[in-house]
């Protein structure tokens, strides 16, 4: 795996799946000198595959910065795999510059709600007055919503033809309907589970859906928001510990683990310490562990 720290813009590659982290925090964006290295934007990861339009995991505030590197002439085409509808995963959509241009198109996949509301229903009822200055339908670009749950589908290539990027969506434990995703291209798989509720009692067990998504993945991007002490106080808040993330990666035979969805109170030095301990634990279990950071790009 190749790593590069930069601005988090366009990824040039001739083979492999290119991954760029644009936002790696959970719950709320944050800022300050103490978080400058890992960044303070919320969840957004872009995926670059030769011959395909950009693919996004989540649309937190990091989406705005991804948008700065994209065409603003109405030619943008892309796909977004939305895990769930909490603010820290959707807020960037309203500030995504490409959809301010007529002709642009974004296909968004995400879980419908238990009360029957679709993803489109929720987004359009959130980005509207008085919470937002205009109605979402007034954006010049086209955003098309697709409800998924335990769904397998194929993304179209850059010519609009169903291509060779297979997506597995599975409902996983969190607070409210939440999907994890597994993206596979030419035998290489990337699994994204940004928000994942570990067992309330702190035990090392995982739902069948989570295991299916992560089994043998070349890269697992996984929730690692809490320390053990924090989890003891917030065990029902929908997240997991760093130790659980490493255990799951080892349990399913994932090759590499990206610690993700860092708590907004976690400074760079604290993430460094967590990552060092997790890396040592991962080495004993045969998993390469690193911490996701804004601007980090890699090829899987």
Q: What is the pLDDT of residue 156?
A: 84
CB neighbours of 198 closer than 8 A, spacing ≥ 6? 206, 231, 239, 240, 241, 244
> Does position 73 have pLDDT exceeding 90, yes or no?
yes
Give Cα 79 distance to the centre of its chain: 13
Handedness of CA 182, 183, 187, 189 (dihedral sign): negative
Overall average pLDDT of the 8-12 stretch: 44
Check residue 80 and report its DSSP letter: E
Handedness of CA 117, 121, 126, 129 (dihedral sign): negative
Angle at 266 between CA 65 and CA 9, to 5 degrees: 20
Overall average pLDDT of the 213-242 stretch: 98
Q: What are 260's strand-pairing partners?
A: 223
Q: What is the pLDDT of residue 212?
A: 98
Q: What is the pLDDT of residue 158?
A: 74
Q: Which CATH superfamily is domain 2-299 in?
A: Ribonuclease Z/Hydroxyacylglutathione hydrolase-like (3.60.15.10)
Q: Where are the domains of the chain?
A: 2-299
* Model confidence pTM above 0.85: yes
State the Cα–Cα distance between residues 78 and 59, nearest whole angstrom.
Answer: 12
Least confident among 47-51, 160-164, 233-237: 160-164
Among residues of the chain, what percentage have pLDDT more than 90? 92
> Does position 242 have pLDDT exceeding 60, yes or no?
yes
What is the average pLDDT score of the chain?
94
Q: What's the token pair of residue 60? A: 């937190």
> Does position 3 have pLDDT exceeding 80, yes or no?
no
User: Which residue has 């045969």 as its token pair?
Assistant: 286
Q: What's the token pair of residue 44? A: 């957004």
Measure CA of the first residue to CA of the last residue in the chain; give whole Å: 5
Q: Label residue 5 by pLDDT band (50, 70, 90).
A: low
- Max Cα separation, the chain? 53
Inter-residue contact 63 to 93 (CB < 8 Å): yes
pLDDT, tens digit, for every residue of 94-147?
999 999 999 999 999 999 999 999 999 999 999 999 999 999 999 999 999 999
CA distances from 88 to 62, 263, 288 (A): 10, 12, 27
Handedness of CA 96, 102, 108, 113 (dihedral sign): positive
Inter-residue contact 169 to 149 (CB < 8 Å): yes
Handedness of CA 263, 265, 266, 268 (dihedral sign): positive
Rg, the chain, Cα only: 18
Q: Label residue 8 by pLDDT band (50, 70, 90).
A: very low
Overall average pLDDT of the 183-206 stretch: 97
Inter-residue contact 175 to 197 (CB < 8 Å): yes
Comparison of pLDDT for 230 and 15, the residue scoring more: 230
Q: Label residue 10 by pLDDT band (50, 70, 90).
A: very low
For residue 91, is the peptide bond before it cis, meaning its omega torsion is within 30 degrees of 0?
Answer: no
Q: What is the pLDDT of residue 160?
A: 78
Inter-residue contact 271 to 235 (CB < 8 Å): no
Q: Label residue 12 by pLDDT band (50, 70, 90).
A: very low
Q: What is the pLDDT of residue 162?
A: 79
Picking from 230, 151, 156, 152, the residue whose alpha carbon sits closest to that of residue 198 is 230
State the Cα–Cα distance between residues 229 and 291, nearest whole angstrom.
Answer: 20
């Amino acid at each position: 795996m190749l790593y590069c720290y930069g601005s988090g813009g366009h990824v040039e590659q001739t083979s492999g799946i290119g991954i760029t982290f644009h936002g790696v925090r959970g719950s709320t964006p944050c800022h300050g000198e103490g978080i400058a290295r890992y960044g303070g934007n919320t969840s957004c990861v872009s995926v670059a595959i030769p011959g395909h339009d950009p693919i996004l995991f989540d649309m937190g505030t990091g989406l705005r910065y991804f948008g700065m590197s994209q065409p603003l002439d109405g030619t943008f085409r892309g796909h977004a795999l939305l895990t769930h509808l909490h603010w820290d995963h959707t807020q960037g959509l309203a500030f995504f510059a490409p959809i301010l241009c007529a002709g642009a198109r974004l296909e968004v996949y995400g879980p419908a709600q238990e009360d029957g509301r679709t993803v489109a229903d929720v987004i359009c009822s959130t980005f509207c007055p008085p919470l937002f200055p205009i109605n979402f339908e007034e954006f010049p670009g086209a955003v098309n919503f697709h409800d998924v749950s335990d769904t397998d589908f194929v993304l179209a290539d850059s010519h609009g033809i169903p291509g060779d990027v297979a997506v597995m969506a599975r409902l996983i434990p969190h607070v409210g309907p939440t999907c994890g995703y597994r993206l596979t291209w030419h035998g290489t798989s990337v699994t994204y589970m940004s928000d994942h509720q570990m067992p309330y009692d702190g035990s090392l067990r995982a739902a069948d859906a989570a295991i299916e998504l992560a089994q043998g993945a070349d890269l697992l991007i996984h929730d690692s928001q809490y320390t053990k002490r924090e989890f003891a106080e917030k065990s029902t808040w929908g997240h997991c510990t760093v130790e659980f993330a490493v255990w799951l990666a080892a349990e399913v035979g994932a090759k590499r683990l990206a610690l993700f969805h860092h708590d907004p109170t976690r400074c760079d030095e604290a993430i460094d310490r967590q990552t060092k301990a997790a890396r040592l634990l991962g080495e004993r279990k045969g998993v390469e562990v690193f911490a996701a950071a804004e601007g980090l790009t890699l090829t899987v």
